[in-house]
Amino acid sequence: MIVPGLADRLEGVEESAATAMAETARRLRAEGVEVISLAVGEPDFPTPPHVLAAATLAAEGGDTRYPPVAGTAALKAAVQRKFRRDNGLDYAPDEILITNGAKQAIFDAFMATCNPGDEVIIPTPAWISYRDMAKFAGAKPVFVPCPQNHGFRLQAAALAVAITPRTKWLLLNFPGNPTGAACSWADMQALTDVMMRHPHVWIMTDDIYEHLLYDDASFCTVAQVEPRLRERTLTVNGVSKAYAMTGWRVGFCGGPRRLIRAMENVQGQSTNGISTIGQAAAVAALDGPQDLLRERAATYRTRRDVVVSLLNGVPGLSCHKPEGAFYVFVNVAGCLEKTSGGGRRIVTDTDFATALLEEKHVATVQGAAYGASPYVRLSCATDEASLRKACDRIRAFCLDLTAAG
């Protein structure tokens, strides 16, 4: 139940589990405990120097006035070039919206289109905020499980069954959070074939991890695979993950004019335009050298390999090898119905994550928060030495488990 006097729309909208775990980790650190936090999906690399230089130049040059709600002409042009270069998509300036991070693009879209009773299809496991943003807009989240035996990828048959006359959106995130599962061209084509049969449904593709792919995985997005869906597809992206610019809060999206105009209206009545300094920095990121994307992806791949190798050798744990992003989604089924070394009963993945943090001081996030149990999510966006130490602590935690009496 919500607190009296607050809006009904907050009913069921919960605090992010990742944020809660990060806050607990900070509290323990303040008490002098050495905590290794693998709970937050934030690159540990610095923002590139040429991006910082562009921001400084903008500030010193007086680019500090109110910006256009939909974004500066310079950044819209850079986004146009990015979409053409990376995705083969051609969006006009009035088909592009610049937002406070990719998250606001998703929020704007839901608020601009959803009515009470509308449904938003969310393949799970999924980022925590998708569900709550849909609820906030008055829509009903409809979860479609994507189990590990299917590589955590959405199956066309499961999608077809989930669509109803009330479906307003399908939301895709590949490669995604929390599993790192990627979607091949053939996989995406199967999904777009289904969507061609349902013209009343909008499609949103959150491509924020586009440049974090490993091994033989390649990226594709909905409107690229099936151009006939372009007029009801919102392609969402941003500079946070790829360019290590989480704090700059710059996202962007491309879509049909009528949708972008409605989203701009929502944004104009909430946050208005985006920081001019941040937009100048994002231009430099998108138009500047792109080699760093491959270099950093290679580092994340090495870290992924270290974590998967170390944890797959731990009794009770098993790891699917992610194709992208910077997370490892660890199955902890073999650790349930046991007692930790500190005397805690481990019945759920939440129990596992809580006890691991309190006893071995490693912060993770329970799979239940993402709609999939029994798993925990580890972020590999930290240095290799810390990851190895964290894996050693996780191993010790698991070896300390005993059968529950």
- Tens-digit pLDDT profile for the chain (405 aa)? 456 788 888 877 777 777 777 778 788 888 888 899 999 889 999 999 999 999 999 999 999 999 999 999 999 999 999 999 999 999 999 999 999 999 999 999 999 999 999 999 999 999 999 999 999 999 999 999 999 999 999 999 999 999 999 999 999 999 999 999 999 999 999 999 999 999 999 999 999 999 999 999 999 999 999 999 999 999 999 999 999 999 999 999 999 999 999 999 999 999 999 999 999 999 999 999 999 999 999 999 999 999 999 999 899 999 999 999 999 999 999 999 999 999 999 999 999 999 999 999 999 999 999 999 999 999 999 999 999 999 999 999 999 999 866
Task: Decide: 111 and 90 in contact? Cβ < 8 Å.
Answer: no
Token pair 């986004």 is at which residue? 79
Tokens representing residue 168 in the block: 């307003």
pLDDT tens digits along 26-78: 888 888 888 999 998 899 999 999 999 999 999 999 999 999 999 999 999 99
Same domain, 203 and 324: no
In the chain the first and final C-alpha atoms are separated, in Å, by 36
Kindly state whether residue 80 falls inside one of the protein's structural domains.
yes
Output the six-digit token pair for 141. Answer: 């989240």
**Structural domain boundaries, residue 73:** 49-289
d(CA 202, CA 195): 9
CATH number of the domain at 116, please. 3.40.640.10
Q: What is the pTM of this model?
A: 0.94
**Same-domain pairing of 84 and 35:** no
Residues 317 and 399 in one domain: yes
Q: Is 325 found in the same domain as 257? A: no
Return the structure tokens found at 340: 């930790």
Residue 2 counted as domain residue: no
pLDDT tens for 172-188 read: 999 999 999 999 999 99
Same domain? 31 vs 59: no
Are residues 243 and 163 both part of a single domain? yes
The answer to whether the CB of 260 falls within 8 A of the CB of 94 is: yes
Task: Count other Cβ atoms within 10 Å, centred on residue 156.
Answer: 16
Q: Among 274, 289, 304, where does a domain finish?
A: 289
- Judged by DSSP in three states, 119 sits in strand
In sequence order, the 6+-apart residues with CB closer than 8 A to the CB of 375 are: 125, 178, 329, 330, 331, 332, 349, 366, 367
Residues 277 and 329 in one domain: no
| Distance (Å, whole) CA 381 – CA 383 | 7
Question: ω into residue 67 within 30 of 0, thus cis?
Answer: no
Residues 233 and 121 in one domain: yes
Q: Is 168 left (phi over 0), alpha (psi -120 to 50) or beta?
A: alpha
User: Residue 332's domain is classified under what CATH number?
Assistant: 3.90.1150.10
Number of domains in the chain: 2
Q: Rounded CA gap, 29 and 32, in Å?
A: 5
**Contact predicate 217/182, CB 8 Å:** yes
Residue 344 CA to residue 285 CA, distance in Å, equals 47
Say how far apart CA 90 and CA 223 lie, in whole Å: 10
